């Protein structure tokens, strides 16, 4: 395909573009808020001499779509490190551009600055947009919490209360663990993704050998969050947010949602939909025709589907989900929990009630109300809606068959 024709087919979404020579050599790596518009700008008439010289050598362009410009910035840094493109030139050392500063203190602080005046500090940059940079640091901070303020008293700061600062000054984290977080962040900013993920995997294996399974699971969560971040997906925020809000023991990499569909108790059906890494895995979806309940008892129908679903997974020795989402309120969730207990399964289960989008737990008599703007709530809603759609589709199919018969 002609390169200009290829540009016309580029998406208008954020991402990273990779310019290559005739021999496939990577010449330049860049990020964009709109891939098509940014790449097309290189082919305008009034480009600089340096850009013109580069474009004479470009024969092909690859791209990786991202969910946001912030994720594109992180991926761009990693690709520059790995591909070592010939024509990538850092921005000029200009005070108008922001940098990331990491101090050399007992508990290093990380913040954005426009002045490189501390000779002992580490600086990364310069970066073209301070807004994007702030968002990137927020994403990184969710995976590796760090300190950004000077602590004169041994008390926790605001960031500590929202779990974005591990409060080293208040003794909430050891010097060694805090240092590990800072070193990991340095590797992210340097673009050393492969090295960082390898180190974390080695640590996870070591913790598992020592039977420190909770700590190993926490490291695994960081690995998954990093991998998704470098893929340019927004899963990191959704899954971490869901884990924090629901106080789950581990990152819910596999979530199943269950719904019941019936009309006056006839042709009642159940559905199970599966999301892996917050993405629908449609090959794992399952339909259930209600066989044991002959009345309009939604709770009994829910119990039947839960029992059949997870008994089968046990029999086939398949992996269990890290979270089950039920379309319904307290009664539905309690019915599901009873069946899980009978099977000896300790899987977290929640329900989402349609009226006010409240979250119900089987052991609590008051629901959890999550902010309507929460990424965690949006993910739960997507699961519930997909389970409802899938159950209703099968229910209508059965009704249609009965009518024809």
User: Which residues have CB under 8 Å from 95's CB, separation 6+?
Assistant: 114, 115
What tokens appear for 139 in the block? 């994403």
SS3 156: coil
Q: What is the CATH code for 3-83?
A: 3.40.1440.10
pLDDT reported for residue 44? 84
Neighbours of 79 (CB within 10 A): 22
Residue 93 has pLDDT above 50, yes or no: no
Query: Percentage of the chain surpassing pLDDT 70?
Result: 90
If you count them, how many residues does the chain have? 405
pLDDT digits (tens, 9 = 90+) for 300-356: 999 999 999 999 999 999 989 999 999 999 999 999 999 999 999 999 999 999 878
pLDDT reported for residue 46? 80
CATH architecture of 254-404: 2-Layer Sandwich (3.30)
Residue 155 has pLDDT above 80, yes or no: no
Task: Report the C-alpha gap between 385 and 379 in whole angstroms.
Answer: 10
Q: Mean pLDDT score of the chain, rounded to an integer? A: 86
pLDDT digits (tens, 9 = 90+) for 114-128: 888 898 999 997 887
pLDDT digits (tens, 9 = 90+) for 176-192: 999 999 999 999 998 88
pLDDT digits (tens, 9 = 90+) for 156-168: 676 776 777 888 8
Query: Percentage of the chain surpassing pLDDT 90?
Result: 40
Q: Tell me the pLDDT band of 236, cut-offs 50, 70 and 90.
A: low
Residue 279 has pLDDT above 80, yes or no: yes
pLDDT reported for residue 151? 62
pLDDT reported for residue 94? 47
Q: At what angle do helices 375-404 and 235-246 cross, to 10 degrees?
A: 90
Q: Tell me the pLDDT band of 91, cut-offs 50, 70 and 90.
A: very low
Least confident of 218-227, 256-265, 374-383: 256-265
pLDDT reported for residue 402? 58
Beta strands in 301-375 (DSSP E): 323-327, 349-353, 358-360
pLDDT reported for residue 234? 56
Residue 266 has pLDDT above 80, yes or no: no
Least confident of 24-38, 81-95, 113-127, 354-368: 81-95
Burial 111-124 (b: 16+ CB within 10 A, else e): eeeeeeeeeebbeb
pLDDT reported for residue 92? 43
Question: Which residue carries 């599901």 as its tokens?
Answer: 336
Average pLDDT of the residues in 147-152: 74
Alpha helices in 317-369 (DSSP H): 330-342
Sorted by where each begins, the domain ranges of the chain are 3-83, 99-245, 254-404
Task: Report the C-alpha gap between 151 and 154 in whole angstroms.
Answer: 7
């Amino acid at each position: 395909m002609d390169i200009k024709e290829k540009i016309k087919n580029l998406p208008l979404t954020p991402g990273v573009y990779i310019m290559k020579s005739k021999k496939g050599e990577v010449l330049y790596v860049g990020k964009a808020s709109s891939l098509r518009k940014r790449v097309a700008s290189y082919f305008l008439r009034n480009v600089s001499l340096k850009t013109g010289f580069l474009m004479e050598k470009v024969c092909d362009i690859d791209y990786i779509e991202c969910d946001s410009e912030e994720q594109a910035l992180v991926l761009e840094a990693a690709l520059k490190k790995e591909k070592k493109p010939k024509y990538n030139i850092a921005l000029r050392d200009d005070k108008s551009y922001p940098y990331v500063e990491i101090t050399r203190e007992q508990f290093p602080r990380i913040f954005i600055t426009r002045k490189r005046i501390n000779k002992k500090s580490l600086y990364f940059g310069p970066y073209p947009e301070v807004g994007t940079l702030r968002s990137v640091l927020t994403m990184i901070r969710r995976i590796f919490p760090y300190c950004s303020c000077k602590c004169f008293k041994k008390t926790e700061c605001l960031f500590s209360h929202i779990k974005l600062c591990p409060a080293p000054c208040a003794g909430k984290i050891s010097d060694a663990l805090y240092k590990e977080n800072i070193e990991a962040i340095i590797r992210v900013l340097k673009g050393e993704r492969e090295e960082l993920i390898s180190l974390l995997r080695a640590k996870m294996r070591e913790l598992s050998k020592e039977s420190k399974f909770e700590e190993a699971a926490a490291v695994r969560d960081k690995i998954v969050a990093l991998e998704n971040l470098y893929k340019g997906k927004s899963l990191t925020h959704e899954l971490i947010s869901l884990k924090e809000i629901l106080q789950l023991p581990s990152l819910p990499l596999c979530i199943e949602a269950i719904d019941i569909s019936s009309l006056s108790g006839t042709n009642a059906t159940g559905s199970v939909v599966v999301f892996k890494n917050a993405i629908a895995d449609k090959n794992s979806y399952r339909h259930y025709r209600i066989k044991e309940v002959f009345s309009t008892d939604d709770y009994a129908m829910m119990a039947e589907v839960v029992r059949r679903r997870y008994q089968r997974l046990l029999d086939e020795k398949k992996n269990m989900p890290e979270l089950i989402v039920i379309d319904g309120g307290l009664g539905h969730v309690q019915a599901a929990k009873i069946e899980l207990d009978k099977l000896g399964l300790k899987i977290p289960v929640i329900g989402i009630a349609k009226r006010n989008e409240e979250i119900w737990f089987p052991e609590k008599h008051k629901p959890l109300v999550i902010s309507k703007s929460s990424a965690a709530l949006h993910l739960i809603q997507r699961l519930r809606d997909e389970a409802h759609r899938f159950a209703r589709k099968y229910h209508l199919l059965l009704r249609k068959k009965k009518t024809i018969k």
